[in-house]
Amino acid sequence: MLTFDAHLDLSLNALEYNRDLRLPVAEIRRREKGLIDLKGRAAGTTAFPEMRQAQIGLCVATQLAGCMVGARPMANWMSPEQAYAQTQGQLAWYRAMEECEQMRQITDRRGLEAMIKLWTDGEPADSKPIGYILSLEGADSLRSVGHLERHWEQGLRALGPAHYGVCRYALGHDQVGGLPAGGRELIQEMDRLGMILDVTHLSDGCFWQALDLFQGTVWASHSNCRALVPDVRQFSDDQLKALIERGAVIGAALDAWMMIPGWVRGKTTPQQTGLKLEVLCDHIDHVCQLAGNALHSGLGTDLDGGYGTEQTPEDLDTIADLARLPDMLERRGYTQVDIENILSGNFLRLLRQAWT
């Protein structure tokens, strides 16, 4: 079954973790054995062969380089210019993956339909390029709002204004407050260009202001439910209902601390909690119950987003295990059409509407 993953930090893994994603996950782990420089070493889950095994033929692939105050171990730079240079290096890696036919950038409706046709032709997926929509997670690397059009010309089609902390154009989910003037200007420019607004990581105040300002297409690429995990990183029912009213799709994430309450990053383990992949279906189901249908839930796994199997369900070895989700959803009473919509159809419908 064709699967669409709405959030994968592929270029971060390629450049900051120095992973060759053309290799199988097992080989990447072998090469990292003994390394302790970054969280998740020798415990990665995601590479192109395993994505193909799970029929993940399309994804949203990120650029990520912040410049928040304070030193951080990765994806953080001391100036917008340095952050910009990092995202351009990430873009260069995506271009290289296109040249060796591992990936194919999707920027419009025609390209989207071509990739859907390729991945549903019944042929083996072993050598098919993976289609990707380019997204920017956190807007700190935008040197100015006026530079956004250049990024659009490079294929950027979605943008989340904030990541963690006090960002240049918005506040992250761990902050309190609304949009600065530059953030309001950025959202208006996104509207003009036709860019998709990713509300993931926005503070509650920024979330509501952004929805009021923005008239275009909205999604939450990798966000879970605050009713199940009471933390500001997740969305409240009121926020989820507002997104549903806007026609948005919410991508359920596999970062363990977003899946169950009480998880302490760096201390809690999957084995201690017994966390299983099945829990992801709880978040999917919660969105579906709020909506009264299965048209607003999808997948945005965030696998290998700065962590590995030490912070994922204990029964998930690689991203290929997403192929088990249809059976889990079927046991909960979801129809075949519902399951197809959750795995890919909802995000594909949203993109078709955005790019009509």
Distances (CA, A) of 33 to 20, 43, 316: 15, 9, 19
Distance CA 73, CA 302 (A): 18
The pair of three-digit structure tokens given for residue 329, joined into one six-digit string: 């959803």
Q: Which pLDDT belongs to residue 70?
A: 62
pTM of the model: 0.97
Task: Kindly state the average pLDDT of the residues 70-99.
Answer: 89
Q: What is the rounded CA–CA span in Å between residue 231 and residue 280?
A: 16
Residue 73 confidence (pLDDT) above 70: no
Percentage of the chain modeled with pLDDT above 90: 96
pLDDT in tens, 131-187: 999 999 999 999 999 999 999 999 999 999 999 999 999 999 999 999 999 999 999
Give pLDDT, residue 66.
Answer: 86
Do 333 and 97 meet the contact criterion of CB atoms below 8 Å apart? Answer: no
Report whether pLDDT(104) > 90. yes
250, β-bridge pairs: 220, 297
Asked if pLDDT for residue 71 goes beyond 60, the answer is no
How is the chain split into domains, by residue range?
Answer: 3-354
| 317 CB-contact burial (10 Å; exposed 0-12 / middle 13-18 / buried 19+) | middle
pLDDT at 69: 65
Percent of the chain with pLDDT over 70: 99
| Mean pLDDT value across residues 14-37 | 97
Measured distance CA(217)–CA(211) in Å, rounded: 10
**Of 51-55, 62-66, 333-337, which gets the smallest average pLDDT?**
62-66
pLDDT tens-place string over residues 208-249: 999 999 999 999 999 999 999 999 999 999 999 999 999 999
What pairing do the DSSP bridges indicate for beta strands 196-198 and 218-219? parallel
- According to the model, what pLDDT value does residue 72 have? 64
Question: What is the predicted pLDDT for the residue at 75?
Answer: 76
CATH fold label, 3-354: TIM Barrel (3.20.20)
**Residue tagged 């912040």 (tokens):** 66
What mean pLDDT do residues 270-299 have?
A: 98
Residue 282 has pLDDT above 60, yes or no: yes
Q: Which is nearest to 195 in space by CA: 160, 162, 167? A: 160
